[in-house]
Every structure is written in structure tokens, then in C-alpha cells.
Structure 1
Amino acid sequence: MRPKGSSASSTPDIANRKMFSVAALGLLTAATVVTSLRTLPMMAQEELTMFFYIGFAALLFLIPAGLVSAELGSAFSERTGGVYTWVGEAFTPKVGFVAIWLQWIECIVWYPTELGFAAAAVAYAVGDNTIAQNTYYIGGFCILAYLLATLIALTGTRFLVKVAQFGFLVGIVFPCLILIILAVWWVVSGNPIGWETLTDPEVAVRRDGYDHPRWFPHINGLGAIAFLGGILLAFAGVEAQATHVSELRDTRRGYPAVIAIAAVISILVFTLGALSIAAILPYKEISVETGLFTAYERAFGQLLGVQWPVQALSWLIGYGALSGALAWLAGPSRGLLATAQDGMLPPWFQRENRVGVQKNILLAQFVVVAAISSIYILMDNVSTAFVLISVMAISLYIIMYIMMFAAVIRLRITQPDLPRSFRIPGGLPGVCIVAGIGLISVVFALVVSFFPPEQLTIKNPVTYVALNLAGIAIAITVPLLIFYFHNPSWRGEGGHQQQSFSDIDE
């Protein structure tokens, strides 16, 4: 019988080897934050006001979330479960279960939007971008691509990590570097810079008879900045690989460095990538769906008189988006396995394959993702489906972050002597300030997420809000019902390594 404090799995691939270096887990964490270049056009569409939004997300969300994840991750470095362990230790196992459930469900809802972008990239790669608006193509691609990702995940963490890391470098970092080089070349060659020709009052202000780019958003109601939640979600995920902290070779001191690597890479990719698109394309030509590819086409056509590199880069970008999905497969589903081993899910969900991968949870994920991907097939407008699915994902994830920020404060109060190799500076006041800033930012983003973004056309705002509310209600009610009806006999042999959970049935 495995002792209660032992690892959740005895397989060499998962538990008995310290398989991650700081750099390796740092890249994997960066890949869960920058899952693709999909959000660059959305940021670029804000022109120079992007610095406000990116600064808001980085300073008031990414950095607090990173610091909180570093402290919690180092405190429970020998425990798997991620936010389940953190929130469960701070409050109760039930609350921890809701937290990991929200993170897992957010991933499920998010996968089709990410893979939909990969489908668009492949459409450009084959030279027929018109099929990117074909709902049957998008839906079918999402289902098949996620099936491939699941099969890769089932081979084991080592192979999955290698594929995800390689995809991040060649499918995200490399295309972004090419975009930045093209933008610099575009500017030094004397071509018109996109933000120098602005006239739209949303992104430009008129002074002394001339139009100048805005540096601060034109706020005429909450709807004007509602898509801030989307940019906030673009920086989310820094905590997602915390389930692998026990596999880090330098568990206690290495995880803060992992967070730092991921944060720096994320800020650089988003800022420089979006700025490059805004430099190459006029404001009116930046499309949320196709702006990235249009920027490549314009730059290569104008500077080199060729288009074939766009197709080559599109293949890489599609692979990068797929690798982003792979990076997320490795984290939240592992945390959900910990809850299953603690008896919160039926024994069927505890089953692992010969290399220690949570095979039945991944199978359940595939079924749900395939069902959600069918929305693309059933709806006439792919853009509408993209927006509606994204709205739900934003709200669910923000609520999980509220729980995480609250957890770090409570743990400093209830377990002040818990060994932490990394502590947020300033004692309890410092933790309250850092986590408080994070709480304020995510609560604000949650509120504005109920207002349809003015940058996107939503015919029925009531539907927009109703779907968001319904998604939140269902996502929170389901784990509470599961916990209420769970059977103590579901608990696996020895359970998950929750030594300080006083009573798993509370």
C-alpha cells in the first residue's frame, strides 16, 4: 500500500524522476501563457493604447499571479495538484475542487478557440484562406487536431513536453521574431507606419489640427474596455504547470525562476509582436481573425516581392497553436487526477496508463472538446462562435484566480510557519498588497466581461450576458454537486498526497 504522503503515481515517467530543469519548465510555462500568436491582432487593433492594456495585464495581473504562484508552488513543492492543493489547504477540499474544476473547464472551453486559430493558419498555409470561414472545416479540424494532441499526451509527459517546447520555439517565438524583423525593416525603409495615419477617435486624438495616436484608451463606457478581460486571459496560465513542480530538479528554489522566465518571454512576445502588426498595417486593415497573416503578406510583398514565406510561416504558426494546446494538456488534467485520487471523482477517472498518464480524464476531455467544437459546425458565423466561447472561458478563469489570490493571503495567516523557499516580500502586508492588486484587477475584468466589446459586433447583447451568467452558474454548480454526492469509497489507495487536508469528506 502506498503511504499517504507518497506520490500519486509510482510510474517512473511521472513520479520517480526529477525530469524538469528550470529552463525546461520555464519554457513549458511560457508556452501555457503564450499559447499562440492568436491574440496579437486584437492587441494591435488598439494601436499605441496597447501599452495601457498590456501594462495593466502585466503589472496588475501577470506579476502578482506569478509571485503568488511562486510562493504557493515553493510551499507545496512536493505535492501535485496545483491550485487544488493551494486553495484546498487555504480553505477546504471542496473549495480546492471547485478551483481546479474551473481551471480544467476553462481549458476545455478554450481548446476549440485555440485550435480554430490553428485551422485558419493551415488554411493560409495551403493557399486557400477562404476555407477559414467554413464552419465544417473549422469544426472538423478542431476535433481531429485535439484527437492528435490527446494521442501525443497519452505517450507520456516526456514526449509531450518535448513536442510542446519545440512547437513553442519554432511555432511562436520564431514567427514572432520574423514579424519583428519585418516591422523594423518596414520602418527603416520609409514605408508608412500604421499608427501615424490614425484618424479614428477610438485610437487617435486631434490636437493643433493634427491627429495623434492615443496612449490612453478613449473611455466612453465600460463597453469600450470590456475586451480587457480578453487581454487579461492572454496573460493567464502562469500557474498551470504548478502540477509539475514536484518533478523539478530544484523544487524549492527553481520554481520562482520558472515564473520569471515565463513572465519575461510572455511580455516580450505580446508587446513586440502586436507593435509590429500595428506598424505594418493601417488601423482599418487589422482584423482580429486574419491580421497576423495580412501583416506577413503586406511586409513580404512590399519588401521582397514574394508571398511564399507567408505559407511556410503559416504552417509553423499552426503547429505553434497546436503545441499551445499540448502544453495545457499536461497541467490541469493532472490536477484533476489528484482530486480523483482523493475520492472526489469516481474510480474510473483515477485510471492511468503504463506510463502514468491520466488516460480516462484525457478521454473525457476529448469527448467534451469535440462536442464544443461542434458549435463551429452548427453556427453560420465562425467569429460569433469564437467570441461566445471566449466569453465563458474568461469568466471561469477569472473566478479561479480570485480563489488563488485569496488562498495565498489566508495561508500566510493560518500557516505562517509553513516552509516557503520563496516568500512575497514585506511579510503579511506585502502579501496582502500583491494579492490585493491581483484581486482588484481580476474582479474588475470579471465585471467588464459582462459588457460586449465595442470592437466586436454582437447582435444581441442580452444573449452575450446570458451566456456568460449561465456558463458561470453551471461551471460552479457542477463540482459542488459532484462533491455533495461523492462516495468516500471512491478514494484511491492511499489517496492523493494531501497530508494536511484534515477531512476529505468535509
Structure 2
Amino acid sequence: MTTSTTKTGSTTGNAGKISIFGLALLNITAVVALNNLPAEAEYGLSSAFYFVFAAVFYLIPIALVAAELATGWSEKGGMFRWVGEAFRGRIGFMVMFIAWIEVCVFIPTALTFGAVSLAFIDPNEKEALAISGDNWFVIVVVLAVYLIATIITFLGSKGFATMAKWGGVIGVFIPMAVLIVGATAYAIGGNAPQMDVGWGEVLPDFAGFGTIVLAAGITQMYAGMEMNAVHVKEVKNPTRSYPLAIFLSAGVTVAIFVFGALAIAWVVPAKDINLTQAILVTYYDIFEWMGIPWGGSVAAIMLAVGVLVTVTTWVAGPSTGLLAGAKSGFLPPSWQKTNKHGAPTTILLIQAGLIIILAILFVVLPSVQAAYQILEQLATILYITVYLLMFSAAIRLRYSQPDRPRPFRLGKKGNGLMWIVAGCGFVVSAFVFVIEFIPPAQIDVGSPVVYTLLLIVSVLVVYAIPNVIYHFRKPSWKSQDPDYAPFTWEQKAEAPAVAKAAPEGTGTGEGTGHA
């Protein structure tokens, strides 16, 4: 779907073309992934509570706040644009850089799931379990699949768009439908549940932080809903239709996650749930019960395809966003290089180096699960940082730019609804941010103190890098043809200088307005 966007950010040509159902489907596709389901399956029926709670107080606020920001500041940049408008260039660059690093951290966890999926192509479940737990097997597959994804990205948008066309259906929707339908048949067939059932099991046990760290990771499962806020101008009557699409997509997403997690919990005992293997074991057991053991291998192949598509999409997207920031003068010219397909070559090569370093964790840490978990928690902390700044920016912009046109606005008058919605998202984000530094009780991570210190140091290093780069930036870094519209506050600062330099009566300083 193509749109025509003017310099002021107005969208023409496709206005009103996206239906409520279409937008909901876009949101579901952006959010739903299967590799994190085992982490929530450990909580049995109480996982439903976590999914619903996070959807109401986290998922929906993200989507609604992003909708207002995307329609009010629809120029290129996304989070970089929104946060930069509210808190100036340093924080805007910092949030963009953190988002890019978060993807670098996220990719190894997604690829780990892909490696495990490939191991389970082996029809012998015991052999598959042994292979998937081998650290060297995981690191080799992680690097090989990432290399394939990077090569595809170097071919430009045509390359990864072609591959992604059917990948979501093959790698996500069909496997999830098979999992839910198969588990339902498994339960109706008289197989006893491997989890405790009963109303008393619905509410979680809040006895200690260590037991809910994995559950807090559910917020990362909901990450990405803000990506499709850019389409809100293409929806007919966005003030009414967009919230309906959000609630519809949130409901379907929650249902998929809840039934998917419960399917695993019904089939696999909690003590045997492995963060990287449990979903494949569930497929194996269900298909074995159905009398078609080869079905588990087919499911493994489909899940591996889904991982490749996901990784390719995430390799391409944030790298392109960082390229726009580089051209805007926040990174040296060497970071601005592209090939004939428009792919950001330097950024992709640097990203590859980071992925290799992070993949080494699978050999250094005591188990694949431990490496998977620390990267998962680091990715969550970094993404939560981005959301904390997004919620803060939305509130600040209500006061710093109150007259900015907002086609979609939370509340017709006043700022009360924005404070409530963004405030809920901020509080939940802050809570998750804190507890994500606590090692999970369910996984052997070696020394808990070393584990936590490693997380803290990693986060501080990521925070420091963009600030150091920003401090030493040079005016010569700015591209002569930047793919970037100046911030509103930049235009206001430039306008008086232009007017002062212009001859009296020329009117050069007029008409600067909003970006």
C-alpha cells in the first residue's frame, strides 16, 4: 500500500482506504510471535492474567499514544521524531540508537528459537532435544541464518519484501492455528492436563520478584504495536475507527497468546518447560498422539521460516531508521554509505559485528537457556526505555506544542485522558524496567550477582554510546541531501536568524511554521 506524503506530513491518495479489520490485522501481524510463549506457559492458568493485564495497561496505551504522535508528527523518524520534538536532539538520537541496539540484542534470541526449530526437524525427539541444547550448534545456526538475512537485506526492499509476503502466514498464523486446534483436540481426547486447573490458579502468586521476572517479559511480546500507528491517517474517521481497531487487535492478540501458552502448559509439565524447546516438544507430543509423528518436523520447518522472515524484517527496518539519523548529522559520514539498492552497508556490517559478539554468550554462559534469558531481559530493558521516553514525550508535547494539529487526539478537550493513558503505560513500563534486572528463579544463570551486574553494565554502556557520539558530533556530518525534515524547534530557532540576515522588506523569515 503506497501513500503520498508531503513535506508537512499530510497523507494523500489512500485516505480512508484501510478498514478497521485491515488495521487490526496489521497490528496482529506486527506483534504476534511464538518464541516467547514457553516463558508464560510456566505460569499455567495464571498466564492469562498477565496477558490481559499487560494488554489493558501496556499494549493499548502504547497503540493509542503512538497514534496521536504519528498523526501529529508524521514526518520520517518515528520514535526519533516524536522524542526529539519533545526533548531535543540529544534524547531523540539516544532513543533511536537504543532502539537499534535493542534489535541487535533481540535478533540472537529470535535466531536461537530458529536454531531449536531446525534441531527439531529430526523426527527423534530425544535426539532433537540433545542437538538443540548444544551451545555450538546454536551459535553456528544463529550466525548462518543471520548471514542469510543480511544478504537478503543488502538486496534492498525488493529482496526482503518478496520473502516476507508469505512468511507471516507460513511461519506464524498456520503454526499457531495448528497448535491451538491440536491442543484442543488433545484435551478433548481425554489427555490429563500437566498444569493445575481451577479458579484458584487464575490469579498469580506474587510471593517474590524472582518468580515473576519471566512473566514481566510479556511486555516484550507486545512490543511493536506502535509501528502501524503511521497508518492512522489512512483510516476513515480515525478518531472512532482507530480505537476500535486497537481493541479488536488487542483482543485477538491476547486470545492467541493465552491459548498458545495454555496449549503448551496442558501438554508439557511446568518442570520440563524449556524456554527454547517447549513449543517444539508440544508439537511433537500432539502429533505423536494423533498418529502422525512427522507432523512435528513440518511444524519445526514452518517455525524456522517464520524466524527467518522476522529477523530479516527487523534487520532492515531499524537499520534504515538509523541511516536517516546518520544523514541528519548525528553519525559520521562513514555510517551513511549505501549500496546500489539503497541498503545501509556500514550500519549492517557494524550490526553484524554486534550480533557475533552477543552470540558468543551462548558459549560463555552455562546454558543456552541462560544466554537466551539474559539477552531477552536486556532487550526488554532497552525497549522499555524507548517506551518510557515515548510516554513522557506525548505528555510533554501537549504543553510544549499545544496547537499542533492532531488528526487523532486522546480526549477532545484538555490533557486528562492523555495523562491517564500515557501514565498507565509509563507506570507499567517503569515497574517492568526495575524487575527485569532480577535473575529469574526458574533458570540456572550461574551467579545471580554476576548476572545482574552484567545486565547493569550492558545497559549503562548502551546508554553511554549515543551520548558520547552526540557530544563529539561535527557540523560536517550532516548530509547535503538529508532524508530528514527539521524539528519544529529547529525551524523556530532558524527563522529569526534568517529574518535578521535578509534585507529589510524581503519577507524571508515568513512562513516557517511547523515541520
Same fold (TM over 0.5): yes
Whole-angstrom distance in 2 between the partners of 1:232 and 1:493: 40
Compare CA radii of gyration and give the structure with the larger one: 2
Write out the 4+ residue segments of structure 1 that deviate beyond 4 Å after TM superposition. Answer: 5-8, 15-18, 20-29, 246-262, 503-506
Give the structure 1 partner of residue 463 of structure 2: 476
The residue type equivalent to 2:71 in the other structure is: S
Give the structure 2 partner of residue 391 of structure 1: 377
Distance 1:118 1:257, change over 3 A: farther
Identify the match of residue 399 of structure 2 among 413, 431, 440.
413
Give the structure 2 partner of residue 150 of structure 1: 150
Native 8 Å contact 2:71 2:233 kept in 1 = no
Give the structure 2 partner of residue 286 of structure 1: 273
Distance 1:365 1:17, change over 3 A: farther
Q: In the comparison of the two structures, how many residue pairs are matched?
A: 478
Shifted more, 442-451 versus 127-136: the winner is: 127-136
SS at match of 1:502: helix
Shifted more, 133-142 versus 480-489: the winner is: 133-142
The residue type equivalent to 1:33 in the other structure is: V
The residue type equivalent to 1:298 in the other structure is: D
The residue type equivalent to 1:114 in the other structure is: A
Shifted more, 442-451 versus 493-502: the winner is: 493-502
Give the structure 2 partner of residue 67 of structure 1: 64
Distance 1:505 1:318, change over 3 A: farther
Q: TM-score, normalised by structure 1?
A: 0.86
Q: Deviations over 1:315-339 (max 9, x none)?
A: 0001112222123224322221221
Native 8 Å contact 2:362 2:368 kept in 1 = yes
Alignment of 1:18-33 (within 5 A): 22=18, 30-33=28-31
Alignment of 1:29-178 (within 5 A): 30-34=28-32, 36-77=33-74, 79-127=75-123, 128-129=127-128, 130-178=130-178
The structure, 1 or 2, with the larger RCO (C-alpha pairs under 8 Å, 6+ apart) is: 1
Q: Deviations over 1:2-41 (max 9, x none)?
A: xxx8599xxxxxx9998x975888656544422x311111
The residue type equivalent to 2:467 in the other structure is: L
Give the structure 1 partner of residue 411 of structure 2: 425
Native 8 Å contact 1:81 1:334 kept in 2 = no
Give the structure 2 partner of residue 183 of structure 1: 183
Give the structure 1 partner of residue 508 of structure 2: none
Give the structure 2 partner of residue 454 of structure 1: 441
Whole-angstrom distance in 1 between the partners of 2:394 and 2:237: 17
Q: Deviations over 1:342-378 (max 9, x none)?
A: 1000112222333433332222212211221122234
Give ranges in structure 2 of 5+ residues lacking alignment.
1-5, 495-515
Whole-angstrom distance in 2 between the partners of 1:477 and 1:238: 27
Distance 1:232 1:147, change over 3 A: same
Alignment of 1:187-226 (within 5 A): 187-195=187-195, 198=196, 213-226=200-213
Q: TM-score, normalised by structure 2?
A: 0.85
Give 1:295 shift. Answer: 1.3
Aligned-CA RMSD value: 3.1
Whole-angstrom distance in 2 between the partners of 1:386 and 1:95: 29
Distance 1:108 1:438, change over 3 A: same
Distance 1:421 1:212, change over 3 A: closer
Give 1:286 shift. Answer: 2.9
The residue type equivalent to 1:271 in the other structure is: V
Distance 1:29 1:161, change over 3 A: farther
Distance 1:81 1:260, change over 3 A: farther
Native 8 Å contact 2:39 2:214 kept in 1 = no
SS at match of 2:84: helix
Whole-angstrom distance in 1 between the partners of 2:277 and 2:94: 36
